[in-house]
Structure 1
Amino acid sequence: MKQDNYRTWVAVTFALSLCVIALGAYTRLTEAGLGCPDWPGCYGFAGVPKGEAQQALAASRFPDAPLEADKAWNEMLHRYVAGTLGLMILALNIFAWRKPARPRALPALLLATVIFQALLGMWTVTMDLMPVVVMGHLLGGFTTASLLFLLWLRLGTISFPPAPVAASSGLRAFALFGLLVVIGQIALGGWTAANYAAVVCTQLPLCEVDWRQGFDTSAFALIQPEHETYQYGVLDYQQRVTIHVTHRIGAMVTALTLLALACLLWRQRALRRGAAVMLLVLAGQIGLGITNIVASLPLSIAVAHNVTGVLLLLSLVALNLQVYRMRLSGCNRQPGREMDRYVA
């Protein structure tokens, strides 16, 4: 496969990873996470049971989990597309090893990530939506998309403006800090969703109840007491309020951090476009978050909030890569020479 074709394959795989994230959010938000009580099939079949005979057999196999065809199809569609993504990432590795000049570490890391992601998908079902597994599954999806995006960027060319453009150590550190803050906020969002805490507060800016007095840090215990099922949540109201308010505070911290980062980035002409994209996505994410609260979590807005979250993460990934390459450019550029397009 030619280099341009390989990069196109990476781009298509990356686009499919975004579809998987959107489908995963849709599956979770339509309460279809247990639409099929087994894995990887559905009630013992490769697809959703059809006809009276298959449905009767499904009922005998799982008498405590009545078949809801719509939810089952939501779950199986997500599995089919996720499985296709896994096969495409496997193909990426095969193509990478055929050409020594192509990056191999990132495709290998992607393959390991998607295998672990498949395990998390299985545990999501077999552990009845245990919150730590659900949150891990969400983070795994975001990680997969980020690694594919990073691979796509590495396969392209980066043009550097005339010197001096070397990024300072302070800017590099703050860009990395901004990335870590966004990752932390995404994890908080996943924890909020996994514990069904998204709609416990319906007023702005924080919550209509006295959340300070009842703030309960036990709400963040990753290992919760064993329950028959975690669907619809097992935490009490005050614990859910604690999670929700923390997520909102985290959103404020994230917004302030990225605004400060944008001010620093704006001093470098080469970074202004990336900073503008980051701020645009941040504004959209804030608007979607507010709409989720005032409109009581509309399905389309909630799915968009998930997808925009990964886009915000990707904007930080791109900025960090550019800042890193600018540092190397400032250290290594010599007159008449350009930096190698494949920076390790």
Structure 2
Amino acid sequence: MQLTWVLRLTLAFTLLVILMGAYTRLSDAGLGCPDWPGCYGHIKVPTQDHEIAHAQSIFPDHDIHPEKAWLEMIHRYIAGGLGLLVLCILLLCLKTPEAPKKLPLIIVLLILFQAALGMWTVTMKLMPIVVMAHLIGGFSLISLLLLLYLRIRPRRIFNSETYARNLAPLALVSLFVLVGQIMLGAWTSSNYAALACTSLPICEGNWVDNLAIVEAFSPFQGQHHSFEFGVLDYPARMTIHIAHRIGAIVTASVLLVLAYRLFVGTVGLRALSLLLVGLVILQVSLGISNVVMHLPLGIAVSHNGGAALLLLTLVAINYFLWRKA
């Protein structure tokens, strides 16, 4: 029981870290503190006159913005708390005979790697491939935590084992499609391409003739003093944005087909199928709102949260289908 409650708390905490990370990134505060793990050589944001003078002497090329620095440090503090919760889960699993042992160890290793990615995000000045990996790491972490929670609380939900076997491949394909779309979204965000197209349904102008696929998806973008606000030219950013939009259409279609098949084929997963439909509609609406309203902060952060909830729903669906199958 204690392990179950700690896992629930950790899942909520991980979602909070994901949302706070999105808020920090979208507020252009990713380099609010140019060093790691402290901030301008302090464990907190420098606020006193002598602290600010010392910070400016160490980082003469940086303008100190306390509000952005606090966003970055609050994100780090919350992430540190999440690390302690994950360590607590590992210890509880080791003490509980029937609890899994390998999965919590993998989760601990993942969060250590996440910490390294967080450091590299700052020290490599928001290099897109590193920022993208950091974002995907957060989604991977919350998915593994849910998987551990489901394994600790097994339940039978099917009346038809045959139908579960038939749906399992479609659910797995849907999960891979969603993961691909999340990666496209992370690449769009890390390259500051969210506003490269401001009209619907695809993009304004003669976008077909301006596609730059090689430049858009090259993980190496040369040497730059900083990657803040992006270094790609407009055609490359436009290509990234268009890929994300087309991916959204494909992903929504696949997930809605899965939801329909789940609803008509099994009683046990009807609630999850309805949740899946609701989240798809919400996520598409948030994506359209981001374009029409030019990326308002609240909606953009909610779009990240919606992606995390969609991923958790697909992880749960696959767990139930494949475990029964």
TM-score range with shorter-chain normalisation?
over 0.9
- Any conservation in 2 of the 1:172–1:320 contact (CA below 8 Å)? yes
| TM-score of the aligned structures, taking structure 2 as reference length | 0.97
Larger radius of gyration: 1
User: In the TM superposition, what is the alpha-carbon distance from 1:168 to its structure 2 partner?
Assistant: 4.8
Specify the alignment match of 2:301 in structure 1: 303
The answer to whether the 8 A contact 1:165-1:268 is kept is no
Measured in 2, the distance between the counterparts of 1:75 and 1:242 equals 30
Q: 228, 231, 252: which is aligned to 2:228?
A: 231
Q: After superposition, what is the alpha-carbon deviation per residue over 1:258-305, rounded to whole angstroms, capped at 9, x for unaligned?
A: 111122212122222111111111110001000000000000000000
Which of 77, 82, 87 is equivalent to 1:85? 82
Aligned residues: 323
The aligned counterpart of 1:262 is 259
1:48 is aligned to: 45
Residue 137 (structure 2) pairs with residue 140 (structure 1): yes
Aligned partner letter, 1:91:
C
Choose which of 310, 320, 324 in structure 2 pairs with 1:322: 320
- Alignment counterpart, residue 68 of structure 2, candidates 68, 71, 85: 71
Q: Give the Cα–Cα distance (whole angstroms) in 2 for the partners of residues 261 and 129 of structure 1.
A: 36
- Give the counterpart letter for 2:267 in structure 1: R
Q: How does 1:110-259 map to 2 (within 5 A)?
A: 110-161=107-158, 163-218=159-214, 219-259=216-256
2:208 is paired with a residue whose SS is coil
Gaps of 5+ in 1: 328-344
Q: Percent identity?
A: 47
1:104 corresponds in structure 2 to 101
C-alpha deviation, 1:170, in angstroms: 3.9
- CA distance in 2: counterparts of 1:312 and 1:138, whole angstroms: 15
Aligned equivalents of 2:298, 2:209: Cα separation in 1 = 34
Secondary structure of the equivalent of 2:230?
Answer: coil
Q: Which amino acid aligns with 1:310?
A: A
Partner deviation per Cα, 1:247-267 (whole Å, 9 max, x = no partner): 000000001111111222121
- Give structure 2 stretches of 5+ with no counterpart: none
1:164 CA drift (Å): 3.1
Q: TM-score, normalised by structure 1?
A: 0.92
One-letter amino acid of the counterpart of residue 42, structure 1? C
Shift, 1:100, TM fit: 2.0
Instruction: Give the AA of the match of 2:191.
Output: N
Moved runs in structure 1, 4+ residues, more than 4 A?
none
Tell me, in whole angstroms, the C-alpha distance in 1 between the residues paired with 2:97 and 2:120. Answer: 37
